Structure 1
Amino acid sequence: MKILFIHQNFPGQFKHLAPALVARGHDVRSITLRVKEAGDWKGVKLYPYAIKRKPAQGLHPWLVDFETKMLRAESCYAAARQLRDQEGYTPDVIVAHPGWGESMFLRDLWPTARIGLYAELYYTLNDTDTGFDPEFPKPNADTESIRLRLKNINNMMHRQSADLAISPTRFQAETFPDDYQDIISVIHDGIDTAQVAPNADANLTLPDGTILTREDEVITFVNRNLEPYRGYHVFMRALPDLLKARPNARVLMVGGDDVSYGAPPPQGKTWKQIYIDEVRGKIPTPNWERVHFLGKVPYDQFLSMLQISRAHVYLTYPFVLSWSLLEAMAIGAPIIASDTAPVKEVITHGETGRLFPFFDGARMVEEICTVLESPKMREDMATASRNFAVTHYDLETVCLPKQLEWIDRLFDMAPGALRS
């Protein structure tokens, strides 16, 4: 089988699936913005594409988002056409993350290919991130529905060419319209629970040389970037009371200074520093010295941190679920999390973790303290969350086999069998 992956930052969500297909003996290739020259990654042949056309000036602001996707689609199409014309290449299956628009025109180039999409999110006003946080209202609330409908042009253009789709959570799949949901299978990317597992002997050395182990009271908080979408502002505002209530706790925070989602901070500032400045005057220096901003850490250190965590705090708007939550569950870190979707798909209050209302920092502190003061509760939750992660999200026994079965179903379809 000839399989072509499309992802601007390949491998992205396909980091396990693509090598597994290589191991099966398939011809696996990828067109990606990530590389500058053709190469190889774990047996996958990589082909670059570059964006050469510049964005138009004076474009209507509602069209700016779609234009960025159009530019990528045009550039990816040109690279794909070159691959077809120079090497005579025609894929049997195309697997694409359509979020950046790259795969929009590949059906025109290869009409017989079966196309499978990674359906990450459909933009809607209801029960998702849009308008969730009143602290950050949209500047043009009366036209927000129009903006989102136009933002979904890319999703709908891809629906016209898709045969099947895959989504990592029910919440994400259910954001899509009914005709899109008809072709979506809910299959998570998968967690390597053999590697991401408890370790009683784990330790972590802080930048100041302090070595922390499971004997220490460690509270952890992880964002890709420290920002409101993942509840950084809620956590920080609760920090003075948390440090006061737990005089021996160390708070370890992982995340960068950039923005992954949502609006950028005011010019010249970072969300990280904005909320440090807001709460620092409420925290005595001896307490502040127990707060450690670790930035972005290597993966082995990230796992060690979770392995020594007595309370792992996770918040998110109703949005894409972070891998880090499932990794924390697989490791057996006791979870205290916001009661938002899709968190509630994996955390059942009192069983696999403790839930609290997203904006209720005081309740969050109460739940953290309850967990820290209850060794038996921590042990039971750790066991339950680990078992849940292994049963439902293990890479090798659950998710990867389902992904490979999905690929086989895609290949076995008549070209365009479910295309609308």
Structure 2
Amino acid sequence: MKFLFVHQNFPGQFLHIVRHLARAGRHEVVFISESNENAIAGVRRVIYRTPTLPPEATHAGAREFALALSRADAVAQAALTLKNLGFAPDIIIGHHGWGELLNLQDIFPSSPILGYFEFFYHSNGFDVGFDPEFPTLPEMLPRIRAKNAINLQALNNPGWGQTPTLFQRSTYPSWALDRISVLREGVNLELCAPDKTANRRSLTVNGVTISPKERLITYVARDLEPYRGFHVFMRSLPRILKECPQARVVMVGGDGVSYGARLAHMTWRQHMLNELEGQLDLERIHFVGKVSYDNFRALLKRSDAHVYLTYPFVASWSLREAMAMGCAIVGSNTDPVREFVEDGHTGLLVPFTEPAKIADAVLTLLENRKQAQLLREAARAEAERTLCLDDYLARYEDLIEQVSGVAPSHIPAPKTKAVRKKTSDAPARTASRSKAVTKQTASKPAKPRSRVLQSV
């Protein structure tokens, strides 16, 4: 099959499926994106130039949509170049969030589109107005509604949608739900596996060393900001550190803002350190910034209590990975987390806005190791049941077949040609055997799978 993927930050949410298709050796995989240093063997990159921002005179509510239309133009131009070179995709898979897919129906009218729908914005009932500490100003409401301009254009265009959770699907209008399938994202359960010996040795990450005698509390977010509960977690720390002298806290995340509002003159980290000045033992709190994936996994495998908090918004990949690594999780009692974590069985759920309850749950896990171990085992078992990467890829192929009419696994692998050398017949026999194996593999019927994907 010929695949065309689109995401401004290659490979984005498509890492696993793109790598899977490329490794199969039977597909042509092309990816349109902005420039970055990422690379996947067997994937042909097509780069488009980052559009310039709309002029300041553009209405604030229209700036995001104007930029999306510019991205749509740039991606369409890249796609037209591919078309002129003879490339016609059997399916187009991309993310609707930045408007990149909006014009591809004009370039490839016969190619079905499978678009990733991440979140439909609301002026109440979800993330907006959730945290009483940050009330929504009336003048912000029109801008929030305007953020759905890209969503609405995408829903009005031809194609099918996918989204990774029931919660995310529930944010979309009722009239759109019949066109959006839930495709739960998977985790590499071998890379993200528990390590029962991790707490028996010292761990050093970005200059911070945790000894076997210490109790490690972990917190991970792309950026340290209120959407991921950074402010309330910080307020829980004075009591946690006071009541557990062996506790150390490692926080992974940058000082930017991914989802919420920026402060005018400082980061949220500095803001919270100022608020809690004199209440924290800063020698036991470590902000390690962004870390490598190996260090991220090492921290979670060593963690004695992992805290994951979020507004009613998109759940982080790190929550899935924490479950797979058998973390003892303290999560916010919000819809995105409840879809993954069952209170008292695979983790402890706490009110997002109550630092005292967060501290209670963390201290429970640090003090009651038997309970923590039961939660760890249950979290890993749930990950094995619902987050297996191979199952996810199989369901992804089923959805691709449903949308395109072609099953990727039924495409035969390219045949290898045997090359005989006149100087010796030994290499010839080797080549002949390789050719036979290739033919057997290509002709072997694909194992049938039941269609488990549907709009739910």
TM-score normalised by structure 2 residue count: 0.85
Any residues of structure 2 matched to 1:161-310 within 5 Å, and which?
161-202=157-198, 203-208=202-207, 210-213=209-212, 215-267=213-265, 269-283=266-280, 287-310=281-304
Is the CA contact 2:330–2:362 (under 8 Å) kept in the aligned structure 1?
yes
Whole-Å Cα distance in 1 between the matches of residues 206 and 102 of structure 2? 46
- Residue 149 (structure 1) aligned with residue 173 (structure 2): no
RMSD (Å) for aligned C-alpha atoms: 1.8
Secondary structure at 1:294's aligned position in 2? Answer: strand
Secondary structure at 2:97's aligned position in 1? Answer: helix
Secondary structure at 2:297's aligned position in 1? Answer: helix
Is the CA contact 2:51–2:67 (under 8 Å) kept in the aligned structure 1?
no
CA gap 1:52/1:155 in 2 versus in 1, 3 angstroms: closer
Whole-Å Cα distance in 1 between the matches of residues 207 and 294 of structure 2? 19
Is the CA contact 1:128–1:318 (under 8 Å) kept in the aligned structure 2?
yes
Whole-Å Cα distance in 2 between the matches of residues 52 and 327 of structure 1? 34
Q: Which runs of 5+ in 1 are unaligned?
A: 414-420
CA gap 1:21/1:200 in 2 versus in 1, 3 angstroms: same
Is the CA contact 2:6–2:100 (under 8 Å) kept in the aligned structure 1?
yes
Q: How much does 1:346 deviate?
A: 1.0
Is the CA contact 2:114–2:160 (under 8 Å) kept in the aligned structure 1?
yes
Q: How much does 1:147 deviate?
A: 2.5
Q: How much does 1:358 deviate?
A: 0.3
Q: Which amino acid aligns with 1:13?
A: Q
Q: How much does 1:195 deviate?
A: 0.8
Q: How much does 1:23 deviate?
A: 3.0
Name the structure, 1 or 2, with higher relative contact order (CA <8 Å, separation 6+). 1
Is the CA contact 2:95–2:115 (under 8 Å) kept in the aligned structure 1?
yes
CA gap 1:57/1:270 in 2 versus in 1, 3 angstroms: closer
Identical residues among aligned pairs (%): 42
Q: How much does 1:35 deviate?
A: 4.2
The number of aligned residues is: 402
Q: Which of 378, 400, 411 does residue 404 from structure 2 map onto?
A: 411
Whole-Å Cα distance in 1 between the matches of residues 339 and 106 of structure 2? 38
Q: How much does 1:201 deviate?
A: 2.8
Instruction: After superposition, give the CA deviation of every residue in 1:242-296 in whole Å (9 maximum; x if it has no partner).
Output: 11111111111111111111111213x111111112113223xxx3211111111
Q: How much does 1:82 deviate?
A: 1.7
- What does residue 305 of structure 2 align with? 311
Q: Which amino acid aligns with 1:149?
A: R
Secondary structure at 1:402's aligned position in 2? Answer: helix
Q: How much does 1:307 deviate?
A: 0.9
Whole-Å Cα distance in 2 between the matches of residues 161 and 155 of structure 1? 10
- What does residue 417 of structure 1 align with? none
Q: How much does 1:118 deviate?
A: 0.7
- Residue 371 (structure 1) aligned with residue 365 (structure 2): yes
Whole-Å Cα distance in 2 between the matches of residues 143 and 221 of structure 1? 30
Whole-Å Cα distance in 1 between the matches of residues 88 and 193 of structure 2? 41
- Residue 325 (structure 1) aligned with residue 325 (structure 2): no
Whole-Å Cα distance in 1 between the matches of residues 135 and 311 of structure 2? 14
Q: How much does 1:185 deviate?
A: 1.5
Is the CA contact 1:204–1:301 (under 8 Å) kept in the aligned structure 2?
no
Q: How much does 1:142 deviate?
A: 5.3
Larger Rg: 2
CA gap 1:84/1:315 in 2 versus in 1, 3 angstroms: same
Secondary structure at 1:289's aligned position in 2? Answer: helix
- What does residue 138 of structure 1 align with? 136
- What does residue 30 of structure 1 align with? 31
CA gap 1:193/1:405 in 2 versus in 1, 3 angstroms: same
Is the CA contact 1:50–1:75 (under 8 Å) kept in the aligned structure 2?
yes
Is the CA contact 2:60–2:143 (under 8 Å) kept in the aligned structure 1?
no
Whole-Å Cα distance in 1 between the matches of residues 208 and 174 of structure 2? 54
Whole-Å Cα distance in 2 between the matches of residues 187 and 26 of structure 1? 22
Is the CA contact 2:35–2:47 (under 8 Å) kept in the aligned structure 1?
yes
CA gap 1:51/1:294 in 2 versus in 1, 3 angstroms: closer
- Residue 124 (structure 1) aligned with residue 122 (structure 2): yes
Secondary structure at 1:165's aligned position in 2? Answer: strand
Q: Which amino acid aligns with 2:221?
A: N
Whole-Å Cα distance in 2 between the matches of residues 143 and 208 of structure 1? 42
